[in-house]
Amino acid sequence: MTWHATHQTEEGSMVHPSDAEAWRYFDRTHPDFAAEPRNVRLGLCTDGFAPHGQYGRTYSCWPVILTPYNLPPKMCMSFECMFLTMVIPGPSNPKRLIDIYLEPLIEELQNAKDEIFTMRTALMWTVNDLPTYGMAFGWSTAGVMGCSVCMEDTRAFYLQNGRKACYFDCHRQFLPPDHPYRRNKKAFTKNRVERKVAWPRLIGEQMYS
């Protein structure tokens, strides 16, 4: 469980999540947690599937899988090291009730103990598609405010015919200020130069402040 703290990787390459900037940022933000390499860092994955197949009756259930990222790449991505913690029953997706189903898992992780040392756990990442992201984290991914980065500052709009949400030409604000696409008046919104600078990504404390 301490492999992540002892392995060495060539500069500029990433073979494990511990080589990523997000991992290093977590270590800088939570030095007490990082000081004990045996503390468990987890990834959570959930999505729905139809157990009766494409031609069976309409029914979906949702497995919730935890992966410990302390282990080497070949181990943490192996079937044996992916823990099926629960299966949320159907017949349809849990929607907003997913928080209720996850409560026992959260309590168990918060109360995790070890006889040798005070073990702590951290949920580092979640792996899911966009609809599941909306259910698990309480942010609607539908409509014109479906982007969790832009949030209410979005430029998305509804199409005049059909009333579908459209995100056309919302991405140029993320380009460097001197990028030629920002000045392109033909390939994107007609006769519009993009001068807006995208909002910086917020951390948890900023979101709740």
DSSP element (H, E) containing 25? helix 21-29
Using one digit for the tens of pLDDT, what is the confidence trace for 165-206? 888 888 888 899 899 999 999 999 889 999 888 777 666 666
Nearest to 121 by CA among 132, 106, 140: 106
What's the average model confidence in pLDDT over 74-83?
86
Q: pLDDT-based confidence at 116, cuts 50/70/90?
A: low
Quote the pLDDT of residue 103.
86
Residues in Cβ contact with 156 at an 8 Å cutoff, skipping those fewer than 6 apart: 144, 145, 146, 147, 150, 165, 166, 167, 170
Question: Locate tokens 């197949």: which residue?
Answer: 53
What's the average model confidence in pLDDT over 83-107?
83
Nearest to 5 by CA among 40, 37, 31, 28: 37
Nearest to 117 by CA among 32, 3, 23: 32
DSSP code for 118: -
Q: Do residues 163 and 155 touch, judged by C-beta distance below 8 A?
A: no
Distance CA 153, CA 199 (A): 9
pLDDT for residue 209 is more than 60: no
Quote the pLDDT of residue 57.
66
- Strand 165-166 versus strand 157-158 pairing type: antiparallel
Q: Do residues 96 and 89 touch, judged by C-beta distance below 8 A?
A: no
Quote the pLDDT of residue 193.
92
Give the total residue count for the chain.
209
Distance CA 9, CA 100 (A): 40
The more confident residue out of 85 and 139 is 85
- Strand 40-46 versus strand 121-127 pairing type: parallel
Quote the pLDDT of residue 182.
93
Q: Can you read off the two tokens belonging to residue 30? A: 């939570």
Q: Can you read off the two tokens belonging to residue 108? A: 């168990």
What's the average model confidence in pLDDT over 35-43?
89
Quote the pLDDT of residue 31.
92
